[in-house]
A and B are shown apart, each in its own frame.
Chain A
Amino acid sequence: MKAQGAAEAGGAPQVAVIGFASQIRHVSDGSSDAELLAPVIDRALAASGLSRSDIGVVCTASSEFGSGIVGSVMEVFDVLPCWPPVTHSHLEGEGAFALYEAWVRLLAGEADAALVCAYSRPLASDLSALLALQLDPYLVAPLAPRSHQLAALQARALVDSGRYTERDFATVVSARRAGLTLDAALAQPYVASPLRGPDCSTTACAGTAAIVLAADASASRAAGRPAWIAGMDHRVETGAFGARDLTRSASIEEAGARLELRGAEIDVLEVHAPYSHQELIVADAIGGRIGALNPSRGVLPADPLGVSGLIRIGAAASAVSRGGALRAVAHATNGPCLQQNLLCLLERDRRGRLRAGG
C-alpha cells in the first residue's frame, strides 16, 4: 500500500479528490451515526472506483457535544474500512480539517488512498447556545453568549464599516434560500440585530459526508476525472474577539496569499458561511476573480455542524470533475466569527503542488 506515485510523477506526490457523497436530513428517523454514514461511504467509494481494501488512511470528524456522546467514533467503526487495521484518526470539529490531515498523510507517503468522513446528528436542542462552549472557559463561556449574538457583533461591525448594508445581507440570503425574495428576507424579524432569522444557517439537521482522496497513480485510475488538490492551507486567529478586526479575515487573506488566489481566476468558490454577512467577508478576503459563488447554495439552507465544510470541498471538487470548472476553491470555517479558516484549491489539471506551508 506504499505510495509509488511520487516516483512516477518525478517529484512531490499530488493528491486528488476522486469520490464524494453527502446526505442531509431535516427530520430525524432515529438512525444511528453508523446507519447514516454507511450508504454515504458506499456512494463515495463507488464514485471513486476504489474498493474498501484500497483505503490505507481513514480520517473522521464529528462533534461529540452536538451528539451528546463521548467517544462517538467507537460507534461508527463498524462502517469504516478499518479491517484489517488501517491508519485512522478522528477529530472533534469540522470535517474539512480531517481532510487536511488525510491529505498530509498521503503526501507523507503513508498510503495511496484515503477516506474522509464527517457525521453530525445533533441532539442538542439549541446549537447556538451550545457553541458558547468554544469560548474561553473562565472568562467568556460563563456569560453564555449565543453564537448568533457573537455573529451579530461581527455583522454590526461590518455595517458600521460602511462596506455593506443589511440589504446586502438579504441579497445573499435570497440567493441561497430558495423561494425567499430580498424584500421578504428584509421583512423578517431580527434574531440579533442586524441579523434576521434567514441570515443564520439552519442547523437543525443531520448530515454526513464522505470523500475519497488518492495520490498520483491511484488517482489516475479513478472512475471519473480527478479534482487535483493544488494546495491547501489553514490559519487560526486569536480567541480574543476584541483583538481582531472582525470585518475582515486575516487568516483567509494569509491562506489565500499562500495559494496565490488574490486576483486569480476562480471558476467556482464554495464558501462555508453560517451567517450571510460572513460570505461577503470570506469572498473579499480571498480576493479572486470569482465565476460562480456558492452554486451549491452554501450552508444557509442546511448546516450540519462539522460536516458543512467537508461538503464544500466535495461540491468544489464536483464542479471540477463534473461541472467543467478549471479551478475551484472550497472554504471551511471553525469557531466563532470565522476564527479558524481553511482553503482548498482544486484544479482540473495536475500541475504540481504549491508549497503553501511555512
Chain B
Amino acid sequence: MTNRCAVVGIGQTRHAAARSDVSLAGLVREAVERALGDAGIDGREIGAVVLGKAPDMLEGVMSPELYLADAVGAVGKPIHRAYTSGNAGGVAASVGAGLITAGLHARVLVVSFEKQSEARAAGSTLQRVPFEAPWHGGTGSLFAAVCREYISRSGAPADIGDRVAFKERQNALRNPYAQVRRADITLEAIATSRMLWDPIRFLHASPSSDGACAIVLADEAAAARHARPAWVHACAVRSEPPVSPWHDSVDPRAGRDCAGAVYGQAGISNPIRQLDVAELFAPYSWMEPILLENLGFAEPGAGWRLIEDGATTMTGRLPVNPSGGLLGANPIGAAGLVRFAEAAMQVRGAAGDHQVDGARLAVGHAAGGYSNCVAMWVVGSERP
C-alpha cells in the first residue's frame, strides 16, 4: 500500500560564483520561498523537510540542518539531513519521495544548497587522511583519468568534449538561473581554452557556484489541489564501493543498476525513444558521452556518436541538459536536486525558454564520489 508522489512546487536561486548578498540561510530561504510560491501554499502546510548538502566541511558548518531549521521553516517539524556525496540533492529527493510513498506526510519540502564562496571545495574534497601528504590534483584530475580511459576504449574523436560544452553553454543562455552565460561562445573558444587536466579544458568544466534549490512534494490527495503536477514514476539510489576489483570507473554498475531500476519501475524498455528529455549530472563535458552509455541511452562505446549526430541538442532525439547542466552552474550539494527539478519543470511545461516541446517523460540524474554513488528519478506529466 504505497502512495503516489508528485512535484507541485519548484524554486531555485540565481546561481553565482559568490552570492555575497545573502547568508547561507538567506540563500536557502530564497529557493524555499520560490518553491512554496510556485506551489501556492503556506510553509505551515509542509509536514517535513529534507535537507540535502554535500560534505559539511565545504562550508565549515557542522550539521547545518540545525542552524538552517528556521530558514527552511522546519521548527517544530522533522528535518532530515541527506548527504552521501555529490549526489546529495538526488538522495534528498528520494528521501522526500519515500516520506510521501510511505504515507508519513502529505507534503514534504526538499531543499539542497551549496555556498562554495564560503568554502574551498576543490581542496577539501581531496583532503584525505590527516598526516598524509596532500595531493594538489583538484577534483578534475579524478575525472580526467576516467575521460582518458573512455576515449581509449571508445575511440571518441578529440572534439566530443568541445561539442558537448558548446551545446551546454548555448542551452545555458536560455536558462535565466544559469551562472555562466556567454553569449559570444564559439566552438573554437572552447577548443582552444586552457588545458586543465588533459583532456579537460577550462571551458569543458563546471564553475564553482553558490546556489540552492527547493521542491515541494505532495501525495495524490494533496497534489489534486495543484495545477500541472509532475508525477514521480520512479526513483532509485544505488552505490557501490569506489575501490574494488569490480568497480569500473567509466561504466560503474551502480549507474547501470540505478538506471535499470528506474526504467523498470517506470515501464521504460527503450530509454532513448521513450524519454523526452534528460538532465544529467556531468561536471565536465566529457562525462556526458560516458553517462549516455552508463545510463542505457547508447551501447558501450557509442555514446559519443549521439553527440556527433546532434541527438542531444534541444531539437535532437533526446535533448540532454536543456538547462545548460552543471556547466551552467554547479552548487555541488544542490546540483543534483537542480537536475531532478529541471526534469520536473520540463514535464510540467514550465521550463520557459529552455522548454523541450511536448516533453511528457523526463529523467533526472545525480552522481557523486568516484561515480560510485548514483540517484535518479523519472517524472511524467501523466499520473503513473
Contact = CB atoms under 8 A, between A and B. Distances in A.
Given A82-B239, A134-B66, A73 B84 contact: yes
A100 interface: yes
Interface residues of B, number: 69
A64 interface: yes
Contacts of A70: 55, 57-58, 124-125, 127
Interface string A236-254: 1111100000000011001
B23 interface: yes
Contact of A89 (B59, B74, B75, B91): B91
Nearest to B25: A136
Given A236-B69, A240-B70, A355-B103, A85 B240 contact: yes
A87 B124 CA distance: 26
A355 B104 CA distance: 7
B240 to A, nearest CB: 4
Contacts of B246: 83
A73 B85 contact: yes
A340 interface: yes
A234 interface: yes
Nearest to B97: A108
A237 B75 CA distance: 5
B119 to A, nearest CB: 11
A82 B98 contact: no
Contacts of B134: none
A314 interface: no
B75 A6 contact: no
B370 A134 contact: no
A64 B56 contact: yes
Contact of B102 (A97, A104, A141): A104
Given A90-B85, A236-B75, A358-B105, A69 B128 contact: yes
A74 B249 CA distance: 14
B57 A77 contact: no
A14 to B, nearest CB: 11
B354 to A, nearest CB: 31
B55 A89 contact: no
A64 B70 contact: no
Interface string B94-132: 110111011111000000000000100000110111100
A237 B76 contact: yes
A69 B57 CA distance: 9
A86 B74 contact: no
Contact of A334 (B24, B63, B85): B63
A357 interface: yes
Nearest to B23: A138
Contact of A90 (B1, B62, B83, B98): B83
A270 interface: no
Contact of A107 (B61, B104, B130, B369): B104
A85 B47 contact: no
Nearest to A132: B62
B238 A77 contact: no
A92 interface: yes
Interface stretch (B164-172, B252-260, B279-287, B295-303): B252-260
Contacts of A335: 63, 66
Nearest to B253: A85
Given A91-B83, A133-B60, A240-B70, A357 B128 contact: no
Contacts of A145: none
Contact of B81 (A84, A93, A238, A250): A93
B130 A68 contact: yes
A236 B79 contact: yes
Nearest to B123: A70
22 contacts: A11-B1, A12-B103, A63-B62, A64-B56, A65-B62, A70-B58, A70-B124, A71-B85, A71-B125, A87-B236, A91-B83, A92-B63, A100-B80, A104-B95, A108-B101, A133-B62, A134-B63, A137-B24, A234-B78, A236-B65, A238-B75, A239-B70
The 5 lowest CB-CB distance pairs between A and B, nearest first, are: A88-B239, A107-B102, A357-B104, A77-B241, A108-B101
Interface of A: 6, 11-13, 58, 63-65, 68-71, 73-74, 77-78, 80, 82-93, 97, 100-101, 104-105, 107-110, 123, 130-131, 133-138, 141, 233-240, 250-251, 254, 334-336, 339-340, 355-358
Interface of B: 1-2, 23-24, 47-48, 55-63, 65-70, 74-85, 91, 94-95, 97-99, 101-105, 118, 124-125, 127-130, 236-244, 246, 253-254, 257-258, 369-370, 372-373
Given A69-B127, A104-B98, A105-B98, 13 more contacts: A64-B55, A65-B57, A70-B124, A84-B257, A87-B238, A88-B239, A92-B81, A104-B104, A108-B101, A235-B77, A235-B78, A336-B66, A357-B105
